[in-house]
Structure 1
Amino acid sequence: MMRRAGDALELARLLGMELARPEPIEERPELVELGEDLWEKFPHGWAKSIYVCFPNRLSRWTDICIRVRTVKREGELGVEAVTVDKMYRPEKMATYMIYLREPTDEEFERELERLKKEAEISE
């Protein structure tokens, strides 16, 4: 179990991303699908952010968030930057937010599955 904000960098690595390097995100098809859905729903603008957040155990007022900033250049979806931030009320900033109870890859996978099921039910 991760206990420090610095451990969020390890979670970012587990999610298959390199920090602050614009690269395609084909390695994580669920993130590609989520990014494409975001761009379909909100086609205007030049960047969309996906936040993956979890509780900050050092302060009950903030969350630790991994921000995946997606961009679309010449029709191709890519990651512009990945940052780790301590945030107050990240839901106000995110285009899309996934909130995890525990900062683990397994919890991330479970949350993505839950979101997919919700999307299927709403269709």
Structure 2
Amino acid sequence: MKKIRQLGFGLVTIFLLNSCGLHTTHVGNINGNMTNVELSKKNFQVVERVSGTSTATYIFGIGGLSNKALIEKAKSKMLQKADIVGGSKAIVNLTTESHLSDIFPFYFRWTVTISGHIVEFVE
């Protein structure tokens, strides 16, 4: 009986300390820029890749930001790094990645990363 109790306690401990994760990615050029790029003229060049990340932590489901707020915060950080104001640059190929890591049911951490490529128009 003692061995069964120890085995049960061990399984419960492993279950509670087990960490799980969920990862999703959305790719697309979903920004609202109306830009014409003619590939035959080679009037642009890819300058660099930029990204921004935001994270929210929830304990027993309480705390953190909404998913929309996480996306906006990550996008804001990406735009700060990009520094495209005042030039002939745009961000294309936006990718939104979400990752949920948890120790069920006590602790959840939701991380959103938005990245894209900066293109500069040379003509």
Q: Tell me, yes or no, whether TM beats 0.5.
A: no
Tell me which of the two structures has the higher relative contact order, counting C-alpha pairs closer than 8 angstroms and 6 or more residues apart.
2
Higher helix share: 1
Higher strand share: 2
Give me the TM-score of the superposition, normalised by structure 1.
Answer: 0.26
Question: Rg larger in 1 or in 2?
Answer: 2
